[in-house]
Structure 1
Amino acid sequence: MNFNSKATPLAWSKLSKIILVMKFTAILIIAALTNVSAKTFSQTVSLRQKNASVEKVLRLIEKQTGYHFMYDKQDVSKAGGINIDVDNVTIDQALTEAFKDQPLTYKIFQETIVVKKRDANNTPIEIKAVDIQGTVSDAKGPLPGVNVKLKGTTTGTATDVNGKYKLTVPEGSAVLVFSFIGYTSQEVPINNRQTIDVVLAEAPQALNEVVVVGYGTSKRVDLTGSVGSVGSKALQERPQTNLEQELAGKIAGVNVSSNSGAPGGATKVRIRGYTSLNASTNPLYVVDGVVWTEGGNAINPNDVESIDVLKDASSTAIYGTRGANGVILVTTKRGAKGGAGTVSYDSYVSVSKMAKKLDVLNAKEFLAIEDLGYANIKKYDPTGWANGDYADDDPKVIRTALIGKLFDANLQPLYDVDWQDATTRTAVSQNHNLSFTGSGEKMNYGFFLNYADDQGIILNSYLKRYNARLTFDNQIKPWLKVGATLNYNAQEGRAQDNGVGGNNIPRMLVEMPSIIPIRYPDGSYGKRTDYPNMEGGDNPVAQANEITQLSKLRVFSGNTYANINILPSLQFRSVLGVTTSANYYPNSQTGLVGGATANQDYSSASISEANNVFWQWSNYFTYDKTFAGIHKINLVAGFERQNFKQTGFGASTSTLSDNFYSFYNLGAGQIPGRPSSNYDAWQMQSFFARLNYNLKEKYLLTVTGRQDGSSRLGKNTKYGFFPSAAIAWRASQEAFLKDNKTISDLKFRLSYGLTGNTEIGEYRSTANIETTPYVFGGAQAIGTRQTSIGNEDLGWEKNSEIDFGVSLGLFNNRINIEADAFLKKTQALLLNSPIPQTSGFGNVFKNIGKLQNKGIELGINTTNIKTENFTWSSNFNITFLNTRILALGQNNDDIFLAPGFLSDFNLMRVGLAPGSFYGYTVLGTWGTSEAAQAASYNNLKPGDLKIKDTNGDGKITADDREVLGKSTPDGFGTFTNNFRYKGVELGIELQFNYGNQIMNLTKHSGQDRTGQANSYATVLDAWTPEHQNTSIAETRPAYVGYQTEIYSTKVENGNFIRGRSVTLGYNFADNILKKLKVSRLRVYAQAQNLFIITKYTGYDPEVSTYNGSSNFTQGILFYDYPKPRTFLLGLNVSF
């Protein structure tokens, strides 16, 4: 296949054929879903055998038809050789022909054929069918969905919602097998009984839990890699509108940071630390076997059955170049087996309020600071003061001119606005989920609906989501199962925190002067320019009302699969998934919003759009067989193709002729912007295989390999191979531990593997050009220019990881401990490398850096007390993490990688954690007795900041900067306790984080400078001749100069303990459920973000400027959307 960045006509021709085949395949599969399976098969049999054994003939018939045979080996071993020559005959005809000279007879029961010997008179013995029925339950009551199967056959059924089953089986000494996830399977001989009731016992969770791994499933006890899981029960306990937030605190090694309190706000998920500096560090999401490209907000969390997180290289290597950052496997809910349908309704209503307010100056304090700053001008600019340069800036003069508008006759403020109160609200949100599930004899179905209205605490901010999902699974034949999922997701959100670093609403909550009103008596908005010398930016209430920043997302996704049982031990699976999305972003601002200049029209409008199409086609074989009862082999091998395409455009205008037009008529703008458009595409093809070997349930081996080819990389390095190997020893199965009453499970794991990362954007390996305007002959023209130089050797970032893990279960698994130690190294980091200026460019993208993460993960689950009516269980997990840069190219020069204004201090240096903070250390302020010494340092004065002279040269220069902290934590985790007494349940979840710092850049404008905006109340502690023991410089207007650099005073302690959630619920008892004619009824109340213990002075210590869009903005703040405290009431009911 052609892997050039730009698709050639030949490539598109081939792609068209592939898509045509996929469409045809999808049509066939979907058509198959509508078929109603017959109770018997219609396959014909063709056989030509001479003197063949009975067993061989039966195997051949079984292979051709999918029927399964039951027989006594002693009976068939006494039969003679079979001679048969038939072509396209029915199975009855074939068996009659095969047994005509044999002492055997047969009878068909659904998909099972029972073979028995004839009686002594050589007449067929009548094989009777009997109906077996009964109820399956556990200690709490009936169990729906339990699999009931005739041993050695495919004949089976499942219990209905009341735990009842009915199954027709051949009379005799057959055995029924009862199995259900989470319970120990039972084999029960029929023994001529017609009613068989079974009580299943809960299996130890650590042993029985089934987890999803790449291209398959595995029992946790058989895992050799590091996999964390979250089940549907845990997901339901703390409802979220964001899938990623469902993971928060649930799995050791997975750090989930909520970077914004906005509805649908950015969330950063990082698994086992940083894995790259320039490429993406986001984990790969795979939903029902298909890569998901649309982010966690486009998945309804209530649709999720389970989440499995692959953490180590042994687990992720099966995903090759996309597995470097870890893999999150999402399994969604499907139709339930078990007869009668089920209707479920899950809903909650929540109330959110601002969790914390920042302490800022009120109106009188603002004016007092302004007066003090003006009086200090003569100290910092005595010449200008003497010349009268600041006479017009005299606050008394300004205020006198504004008597009646902002001040009374005594120059006292008419208004004192708390902008945090004025711009925020108590937000009421709601979430409703309705599902219909059920099954027939061969098919199960599910239909899931969701409506979510998430209202933000800042005025007019919201995210609304509408979701519909349909699932089918159809066992058409014993050898063929097909299924499909169709999903539609529509979202509309309104943001109120765009424009990081600018004058957006979160910034104005602090900096809008309190002396300005929300509105004047005539209804017009107060503006910051109403008071002279104020900076740009404006009334946050006006912004919330008059600026419309919408995002509209439409996602349609579907996948179909076909499972073909080629042999009892060999299966083929084909999965085709397609996701299309339309992202539409209309924005507008009316002329009622002010800006930097008074009486200027700042109205504007814009529209941008991005349309994505992604498809994936996976085909793989699974061979699963046990030899001699002790050798278990599971082999997976397959091929996969992925393709992604995005098209987009944008247009804008400003100075609208009328505010009415908004973004609906860009032609109404008097100053049109320059339109833009884009096209991006990439494709990948892969081959993969994995072997799992289990010897005696004690010794486990996993070997994995994947070869990927990616269009994103240079033509010399498009393909890469990523292997891994893992071993495990279940010591608890050894004779010396097997009957140990203390140790119920003990397993040691060791793995090593390689993965890759190519998430660098498209066309980085090729030279790029762009259009640019220029002036020619006095007129503007459009030309093109080359913007970067290509690199044909640009390759993968390579991650190697070694992991050692221990799983320990104690006291019948009432205590389960999972511990991992890992060392992960990333080589060939993608970085800009300097090249000679004669090339016309400053650098080229190369694989030159190295990065290391090492850590320890510990998870402990305990059942502290368990009686008939009371249970207390706990979950504790903690991750210790150390991340260091090992190399940065040939000379290991320092690099500053963060975007925009952050780049001056966000340091990448060998030996340090990525994103270390770099700046000056503040020792305090200069006192009056130190005037001479202060003057020797850049002519500073008493009241100025005292900066540490790091190199001791008697000057304060850039060479005096040093590392002030780091954004990466040393450790993080959660501690959860769940209490249940009869139907009452109480859950308490605490989150903690330590060892990192926060760069609070809001102190640049909120504390370092005064007089141009409102400030934090901390400026009341600024230096004065009477108060010199402080680290805040003397107050002065910004326009006469002030000290503002990256100082240690902006670096704060990021440690915290958060009361993430407290849940109180009640599950109604069975006797009440029967009266109400429902199968489940639960009501609950929950508090989220109930409290936080921290020394950090901002809203919340989980912060990331630019909404976490860069790898290295975590822990950096320049104003953010405040996080709310939320209280909700919920209901879960099923019929």
Structure 2
Amino acid sequence: MKKLSLPLFAIAAVSAFAQERTITGQVMDENGFPIAGASVFIHSSIISKEVAEPNIRNNAVGTITDVDGNYRLNIPKNLSQISISYDGFETETISISPQKNNYNVILTSYFAKGQLNLKDLVVTGYQKIDPNKVTSAVATVQMESIQQKGVAVVDQMLEGQIAGVNLQNSTGRAGELGNIQIRGISTLRGVSDPLWVVDDIPLEGNNTPDLSDKNNLDDLRSYSIAGINPEDIEKITVLKDASATSIYGARAANGVIVVTTKKGKKGKLNINLSSNTFVNFRPDAERINLMNSQQKVDFELELAKRKDLNYRSNNGSIARLLQKEGFLEAYQNGEALPSSIVSQLDVLRSNNLDWWKELYQTSINHQHTASASGGGDLHNFYISLAYYDEQGALKGTDYDRLNITLKNSFKLNEKLSIGINLFGASISQSSYLTDQGSFTNPNNYLRNVNPYQLIYDDNGNYAYDENINYIAKNNADFVKFNIIEERQNTRNQLNSLQLKGNFDLNYEIFKGLNYRSLFGIQLERNGNEKWASEDSYFSRIYRAGTRYFANGKQNYWLPSGGILQNFDTNNFHYLWRNNLEWQKSLGAHDVNLLAGMEIRKENTTFTNTKAFGYNDKTNQPTPIVFRNQTDATNSLYEAYKKIELENAYASFFGTASYTYDRRYTVFGSLRYDGSNLFGVDPKYRYLPIWSVSGAWNIHNERFMEYLKSISTLKLRASYGFQGNIDKTTSPIVIAQHQRAAVLPGASEDVLRVTSPPNAKLRWEKTENIGAGVELGLFHNRINLIIDYYERNSTDLITPSRLPLETGFAQTMVNFGAIKNQGWEFTLNTANIDTKNFHWSSSFNISKNKNIVKKVEFNTKNLNFPSGEAYPVDAIWLIRDAGLDSNGAPQFYNENGEIVSAVDFYQLSDPWAAFYPSFMVESGLSVDQRRAQYQYGGSRSPKWFGGLANHFRYKNWDLSINSSFVLGRKALANPAYNFTAVDPGVNYTRDILNTWKPNNKTTKNPRIIGQKTIPDGLVYNWFNSGDDFNTYLAFQSRVKELNYFRINSIRLGYSIPSEYLKNMGIRNFKLSVEGRNLFVFSNGYSGYFDPETYGNIYASPIQKSITFGLSLNF
């Protein structure tokens, strides 16, 4: 239904016609009941053609019906037609004759005609609801308003679009999902991602991993939602509160994202072609702020001159050069460098290799879609074929996807219809192996490699980096590493085949009562092959770990050759849902009842194989001859492993809705879920999930008749429960087969119990309380939505300590609790709406605060405080207090006094009488050390939201989508450890501004060795004694991030139709779009993007420009 926005001044202008008359009438529904609040108006296009008054041309004018459906409207005498519209009903346009002044109009609802207009109805995945009757916190966006070209997965387009939906990208890797939170976090260990639903079928396999470690490039993943082509999507609905999500039971505590895809419509064949070419630009090198060759050589000379430094003092090209020339001691005694050394240093200074260009790239990528749709009275269809190809920011990484979508619906007779929908996807992701040490991750290697390090030596052979892992080339332990060679000699390939299908049967038993049967399947096969040749660091370091000495020589029990690993995953999920729905309208009374049952099953098989001594030319491995049973049972050399998982669920559900006179609506839902994951104790076998809610459409009240400026005024309230599952736990005992030496000299097959039983383990649940108000002014030209909510999550599965006599350190119990509360504000406005120019805006802002109410100890890091009474995403800090007179850190104690590191940690040397300055220990207990951490803010923002503006001028259109984050705390990775500065690696330029006797005002600690400052305990503690690694958590490195991102700017031009009609083209549009071009922030130096601040392993979020065209025939 086409929605109209009528400004108040335009309504008032109806009395300003030069010659006018008055018409009256009544608006009713198909059952003869009056409709209050219906719009009776003269369309702007009719005014433009038939009315000469310049002050009202290009504006729609009209009135609304009173509580009895009556209207009275002044119109020009020569007017030929008027229009009548109301939400949930078809708009009617009637002809006006000069001889008649009374016109009664009957509007037909979409429900009565069986035509559910998706643009107006709220789709929950179980029902399609008239927005007038919605009692829940839901938000819907049309895909055409948020569409971004050159984006692989639809989740990226939601950033900043919907109040209460917070998306944060932990990586810029193509095809990767962002971390989405809907109204906060409701679990400590379970799934925290929302449930994705496509065409009424919930999808499995969309849980986002932690991508903040060194293995994030190796961890290629396939997500089921990534198999859906964004071009096939019609609209997205986000269900936020329990009233909307409880129908989904134990998977909906984190919210539900419902995707509705396009379908065929009655009419002529419709063909669409879309082609986009987008350029992803190489990341900005200056953001990392690394030293260049000149600065790095000078810095190494400065370190080499100091006798007090002993940490890896022999590492780095400068130290090796001075040692080779026998001049290190003389240089430390103040002698000038001879010309022979100076010339070699000048060569290093000139070797300013641009590692950015070697590792990163500007790439040209493609996205193409072709679709056809159409239909008649008995059949409609939608078919699409799409291809997407994006090369990653890192050279050697790539993401390819091929999609095919087939949708058919058949009306077999007046009562029976069926639908068959298939979504197929073939996804290929390419990378190379980067999981053998943090430096092999190229994003981190870039920060560490010396700028003078060459790729090739003078003979054209690979130049190996002997600084990166502190082993000289002439050392027997040296393992050759060159990151370009590694890229050429390793492969990490993930191939995914996905098939999703649903088969839908609808049968009208009698008028108002319908039976629906829905069967959905999800098939997915993932084959991940990791290969490393014999000439790769990956294979070399693997083999180096098997070195041993026998008969006076060095031997390896792992055969020479490459390594081939295969990780195959097969998923089969099915769902069968059957329900009856009865809806009836009796005068002012509307009733809707839904009842049904659902069964679903998940089967997953993991198969891992590993071959050593692999020859990629013959495809043959070499058998391993193990030295002993211990080596043979080491999981690193496990040749075969298979895991099978099966989870089954049975559910019963029902909803009931009652609406009186389109003013008052009450809604309730109930669902029972049962699963093999729980239920050892019958009391916890089924989880009841229920909700109640209500809405009051105040704008339909009689007393609102005279408040013409208020088009919509609605109050909502809801209460209910949601559920969640932690699939990593089990109420039964879990054991792993192993071989172990039970008696000396003999090994036996044993079962190692990894998780003790807990018959009382049960579902997690979340209590929801919510209220909202919706206000529309001036015929909804201004729409304001305000929501408040509280969410109390209890029975959260958390670890709990066990007595030592049980033989287990801990077990999983339902103990934890979290509280979330927040506000959401949404403002949509139609700022200007004329024939040739349109400008609309959408703004939203949200605030969420969460508190851990109950937890025994910290589930993320045992060294931290438990986190009780603090946010889930709390940052725990050591309160450092600047630098002391020697340039070493000092701290605030529990009384707020500034004390030295020795006093703060209560350091002492237990071997002082025998071997001074060799050992260090703290006099504090583990609990006392844990108590030293202080709360430093939350990683979740205080406020977040977005702003969108859409402009149209004649054939031009411009869309600007943006998002913002305020008050998010992040912890920067330290630029250096002041007791462990390695001369062999590069650093940011911050290290050039460290504390020195002539530079005491800096905040950067002094670089110290064991004898730099009077007390050697400080060096020993931060260099090797601090097992809590508190230096990583100094308060001085916490930053509050505030940033505003222009997500996309898209400019489009539609070729005028008069140039196309002779070519059979309905529409031809050209567009150009920029993504992530501008980020305005309070600073994020040292990182590519504020969203990935603190993550040194993250792939950059790239800027891009897309050139596109679309054709419609």
Q: TM-score range, shorter-chain basis?
A: 0.7 to 0.9
Write out aligned runs for 1:379-398 (5 A).
Answer: 396-398=322-324
Q: Counterpart amino acid of 1:678? A: I
* Residue in 1 that maps onto 2:875: 917
Q: What TM-score, normalized to structure 1? A: 0.75
List per-residue Cα deviations over 1:525-544 (Å, max 9, x = no partner): 33221688369995443333
Distance 1:417 1:631, change over 3 A: same
* Residue in 1 that maps onto 2:924: none
Give 1:597 deviation, angstroms: 7.4
Correspondence 1:1019 to 2:991: yes
Correspondence 1:427 to 2:427: no
Question: Which stretch has the larger CA shift, 738-747 or 430-439?
Answer: 738-747
Q: Counterpart amino acid of 2:245? A: T
Task: Tell me the distance in 1 between the aligned counterparts of 2:289 and 2:315.
Answer: 34
* Residue in 1 that maps onto 2:174: 263
Give 1:923 deviation, angstroms: 2.5
Equivalenced residues, count: 918
Q: Counterpart amino acid of 2:191? A: S
Q: Give me the identity figure in percent.
A: 25
List per-residue Cα deviations over 1:431-471 (Å, max 9, x = no partner): 11111112133101111111100111210111100111111
Task: Tell me the distance in 1 between the aligned counterparts of 2:133 and 2:596.
Answer: 22
* Structure 1, gaps ≥5 residues long: 1-69, 73-135, 142-176, 192-197, 931-941, 1105-1114
Task: Tell me the distance in 1 between the aligned counterparts of 2:437 and 2:496.
Answer: 26
* Residue in 2 that maps onto 1:1131: 1109
1:377, 1:1036 within 8 Å by CA — same for their partners in 2? no
1:573, 1:619 within 8 Å by CA — same for their partners in 2? yes
Give 1:1123 deviation, angstroms: 1.2
Give 1:666 deviation, angstroms: 4.7
Distance 1:436 1:1024, change over 3 A: same
Give 1:561 deviation, angstroms: 0.7
1:374, 1:1037 within 8 Å by CA — same for their partners in 2? no
* Residue in 1 that maps onto 2:601: 643
Q: Secondary structure at the match of 2:779?
A: coil
Q: Counterpart amino acid of 2:266? A: K
* Residue in 1 that maps onto 2:519: 576
> Which residue of 647, 665, 677 maps to 1:712?
677
Distance 1:390 1:215, change over 3 A: closer
List per-residue Cα deviations over 1:240-264 (Å, max 9, x = no partner): 2112112222111011112111111
Write out aligned runs for 1:39-438 (5 A).
Answer: 184-186=90-92, 209-236=120-147, 240-294=151-205, 295=223, 296-338=225-267, 340-357=268-285, 358-378=288-308, 396-398=322-324, 409=344, 412-413=347-348, 415-438=351-374
Give 1:473 deviation, angstroms: 0.2
Task: Tell me the distance in 2 between the aligned counterparts of 1:389 and 1:337.
Answer: 74
Correspondence 1:831 to 2:767: no
Distance 1:360 1:853, change over 3 A: same
* Residue in 1 that maps onto 2:946: 974
Distance 1:287 1:599, change over 3 A: closer
List per-residue Cα deviations over 1:390-446 (Å, max 9, x = no partner): 999565225889999999545631622232232001011111111111213310111
Q: Counterpart amino acid of 1:577? A: G
Distance 1:501 1:264, change over 3 A: farther
Distance 1:657 1:71, change over 3 A: closer
List per-residue Cα deviations over 1:1078-1121 (Å, max 9, x = no partner): 122211101100111222224345556xxxxxxxxxx7524211
Task: Tell me the distance in 1 between the aligned counterparts of 2:520 and 2:805.
Answer: 48
> Which residue of 734, 741, 765 maps to 1:768?
734
List per-residue Cα deviations over 1:213-232 (Å, max 9, x = no partner): 24111122221001111213
Correspondence 1:945 to 2:901: no
Correspondence 1:516 to 2:453: yes
Task: Tell me the distance in 2 between the aligned counterparts of 1:1015 and 1:912.
Answer: 34
Distance 1:644 1:498, change over 3 A: farther
Distance 1:913 1:882, change over 3 A: same
Write out aligned runs for 1:945-964 (5 A).
Answer: 945-951=889-895, 952=897, 955-957=903-905, 958=929, 959-964=931-936
Q: Secondary structure at the match of 2:193?
A: coil
1:212, 1:308 within 8 Å by CA — same for their partners in 2? yes
List per-residue Cα deviations over 1:271-298 (Å, max 9, x = no partner): 0010100101111111111111243212
> Which residue of 694, 707, 715 maps to 1:727?
694
Q: What TM-score, normalized to structure 2? A: 0.77
2:317, 2:467 within 8 Å by CA — same for their partners in 1? no
Give 1:549 deviation, angstroms: 1.3
List per-residue Cα deviations over 1:635-667 (Å, max 9, x = no partner): 11100001001011112245x465657xx5455
Q: Secondary structure at the match of 2:466?
A: helix
* Structure 2, gaps ≥5 residues long: 1-29, 33-42, 49-82, 98-104, 111-115, 206-222, 329-337, 473-478, 545-559, 627-636, 906-928, 1012-1018, 1024-1030
Task: Tell me the distance in 1 between the aligned counterparts of 2:543 and 2:732.
Answer: 48
* Residue in 1 that maps onto 2:828: 861
Task: Tell me the distance in 2 between the aligned counterparts of 1:1046 and 1:438.
Answer: 60
Structure number with the bigger relative contact order (C-alpha 8 A, sep ≥ 6) is 2
Write out aligned runs for 1:7-26 (5 A).
Answer: none
Give 1:479 deviation, angstroms: 0.2
Give 1:1027 deviation, angstroms: 1.1
Q: Counterpart amino acid of 1:1063? A: R
Q: Counterpart amino acid of 1:811? A: F
Distance 1:1036 1:543, change over 3 A: farther
Q: Counterpart amino acid of 2:604? A: Q
List per-residue Cα deviations over 1:14-47 (Å, max 9, x = no partner): xxxxxxxxxxxxxxxxxxxxxxxxxxxxxxxxxx
Distance 1:525 1:389, change over 3 A: closer
Give 1:589 deviation, angstroms: 2.4
Task: Tell me the distance in 2 between the aligned counterparts of 1:547 and 1:443.
Answer: 51
Q: Secondary structure at the match of 1:880?
A: strand
Give 1:185 deviation, angstroms: 2.4
* Residue in 2 that maps onto 1:45: none
Question: Which stretch has the larger CA shift, 706-715 or 527-536?
Answer: 527-536
Task: Tell me the distance in 1 between the aligned counterparts of 2:315 and 2:581.
Answer: 84
Distance 1:359 1:188, change over 3 A: same
List per-residue Cα deviations over 1:598-647 (Å, max 9, x = no partner): 996895331111110000000011111101x2000111110000100101
2:279, 2:364 within 8 Å by CA — same for their partners in 1? yes
Distance 1:232 1:1046, change over 3 A: closer
1:354, 1:1123 within 8 Å by CA — same for their partners in 2? no
2:880, 2:890 within 8 Å by CA — same for their partners in 1? yes
Q: Counterpart amino acid of 1:774? A: A
Distance 1:678 1:71, change over 3 A: closer
1:490, 1:554 within 8 Å by CA — same for their partners in 2? yes
Task: Tell me the distance in 1 between the aligned counterparts of 2:1032 and 2:253.
Answer: 37
Write out aligned runs for 1:1075-1114 (5 A).
Answer: 1075-1094=1062-1081, 1095-1101=1083-1089, 1103=1091
Q: Secondary structure at the match of 2:1103?
A: strand
Task: Tell me the distance in 1 between the aligned counterparts of 2:434 and 2:778.
Answer: 54
1:181, 1:210 within 8 Å by CA — same for their partners in 2? no
Give 1:190 deviation, angstroms: 14
Task: Tell me the distance in 2 between the aligned counterparts of 1:328 and 1:495.
Answer: 30
RMSD: 3.8
Distance 1:816 1:179, change over 3 A: closer
1:1002, 1:1118 within 8 Å by CA — same for their partners in 2? no
1:369, 1:1035 within 8 Å by CA — same for their partners in 2? no
Give 1:742 deviation, angstroms: 1.3
* Residue in 2 that maps onto 1:42: none
* Residue in 1 that maps onto 2:531: 588
Write out aligned runs for 1:491-506 (5 A).
Answer: 491-495=427-431, 499=435, 502-503=438-439, 504-506=441-443
Q: Counterpart amino acid of 1:861? A: N
Q: Secondary structure at the match of 2:372?
A: strand
Task: Tell me the distance in 2 between the aligned counterparts of 1:744 and 1:238.
Answer: 35
* Residue in 2 that maps onto 1:463: 399
Give 1:961 deviation, angstroms: 2.7
Q: Counterpart amino acid of 1:649? A: T
Give 1:304 deviation, angstroms: 1.0
Distance 1:514 1:392, change over 3 A: closer
1:604, 1:652 within 8 Å by CA — same for their partners in 2? yes
Q: Counterpart amino acid of 2:347? A: Q
Q: Counterpart amino acid of 2:383? A: F
